[in-house]
Amino acid sequence: MNDRIQLIVGLGNPGAEYSQTRHNAGAELVEQLAAHQHTSLQPEKKFFGLYGKVLINHQPAHLLIPTTFMNRSGQALSALANFYKIPASDILVVHDELDIQPGTARFKQGGGHGGHNGLRDIISKLGNDRNFYRLRLGIGHPGSAAQVSGFVLSKASVAERDKTQAAIDEALRALPLAVSGDWARAMNQLHSFNG
């Protein structure tokens, strides 16, 4: 795994009612990444989202937060990836992850969608290419599959949000290594952290 990342996509749902919900953790990380880089994300109709370009470790990277709903995330990602001819292996998708506890974040390459509607649509729009990278932000599981929808669309407690923010902060510190293709060091740094 020495792929360099050209595109970082943060998943979430648009609109004030979804702001700071668990499902928007990926979008929050990309917003914070843009702010750290002193870049504002601007609406871009052809990419169906908020878009910006930054330099990370002297390497250009496109940032995108889809403004479609979560289950249409692939529309935005594929529009940008096709426009700039970015292969799946150079894409990092940042998303919330039920199977990881708050305060934890993990890099991963490939795999299925695990029931995540954003990932499901992205895989579909990429022609079933699952070879993109993921940055999984733990939100924990409510315990019952029937509760998942309400859980991901609700706001976490202050204590849980603090843990998620700690994981986002650590992920932002590890991100330059990942963008440069040094995945072993990026994973080692991030996976040893537990907020």
Cβ-based burial of 128 (10 A; exposed 0-12, middle 13-18, buried ≥19): exposed
Q: Where are the beta strands (DSSP E) in 49-163?
A: 49-56, 59-66, 91-97, 105-109, 133-138
- Which of left, alpha, beta for 148 (phi over 0: left; psi -120 to 50: alpha)? alpha
Token pair for residue 103? 């305060």
Q: Is 58 a catalytic residue?
A: no
Given 23, 62, 95, 116, the catalytic residue: 23
Q: How far apart are CA 44 and CA 63, in angstroms?
A: 11
Token pair for residue 45? 């109709």
Catalytic amino acids? 23
